[in-house]
Amino acid sequence: MRIGNKDFDVKNKTYIMGILNVTPDSFSDGGKWKDQDAALRHAEEMIADGAAVIDIGGESTRPGHRQISDEEEIDRVAPVIRAVKAHFDVPVSVDTYKAKVAKAAIQAGADLVNDIWGLKYDPQMAGLIAGAGVACCLMHNKDKAEYENFYPDILQETAECVRIAREAGIARDKIILDPGVGFGKDCAMNLETVHYMERFHTLGYPLLLGTSRKSFIGLTLDLPADQREEGTMVTTVMAVMKKYAFVRVHDVKANARAVRMTEAILAAGEE
């Protein structure tokens, strides 16, 4: 799979997507990187620590978040995307579900659109991505954690995201899927999603796991957001074992080490 000017071996390796929130109210690191110079320093640190993609978000999507205008979101993300692309040779993802924001981000240099609504929020998004020829990550999400048959339902609902993408003309090799841990699911559902996450391979696309510091880890371990890295790393190891192509994390260095160690152990078993 090609993202920007980089090729990714999505069948045999797990890559780190480093989170760069340029928001004042992100659930775990709100306000730390909203200044452009601070954002650039953090991007540089994450790349040095092993991030293969930098995911830039301008609106918090934590439970109970305040939705901001397209213009405010563009003002937050576009200059940072432009600066990261100017300073570093790294693919950049924009974390947005709004086509107007995605368009501005792509114009600023974004190589991938990470849509937490899997093309189901903004009807213009799929066509925009197809026309731009960029990659996309489509996440499972829904308004309420209500299902008739949980795992078959989330697979079917994610397959619907794929259908929207393909009918809009998004190339097959430009699609990544995300099971949507922390979105439209309660704590028990999130644990089940991770436990059986290999089932998403039946959809036939590279997979991304985004669990970093999320509330199901905090609820399970009774820990605040800034103390959830060990729990996050457990899910990262499981993602490698279950052949996920990407993990989206805040703490790049620790998770990159966990990925390398897990890959080494798995490779030893294949000799």
In this structure, what token pair is assigned to residue 200?
A: 């998403």
Report CA-CA distances (Å) from 125 to 102, 112, 116, 161, 210: 8, 12, 12, 12, 21
For this structure, is 76 an active site residue?
no
Phi-psi region of 117 (alpha: psi -120 to 50; beta: other; left: phi over 0): alpha
Which secondary-structure segment (H or E) carries 248? strand 246-249
Distance of CA 17 to the CA centre of its chain: 7
Q: What are phi and psi of 120, to 5 degrees?
A: -95, -10
For this structure, is 185 an active site residue?
no
What letter represents residue 151's amino acid? Answer: Y
Of 214, 228, 242, 260, the active-site residue reads 214
How many angstroms separate the most distant Cα atoms in the chain?
Answer: 54
CA distance linking residue 70 with residue 259, whole number of Å:
36
CA distance linking residue 260 with residue 88, whole number of Å:
23
Of 248, 253, 257, 260, the active-site residue reads 248
Which residue numbers are catalytic?
A: 214, 248
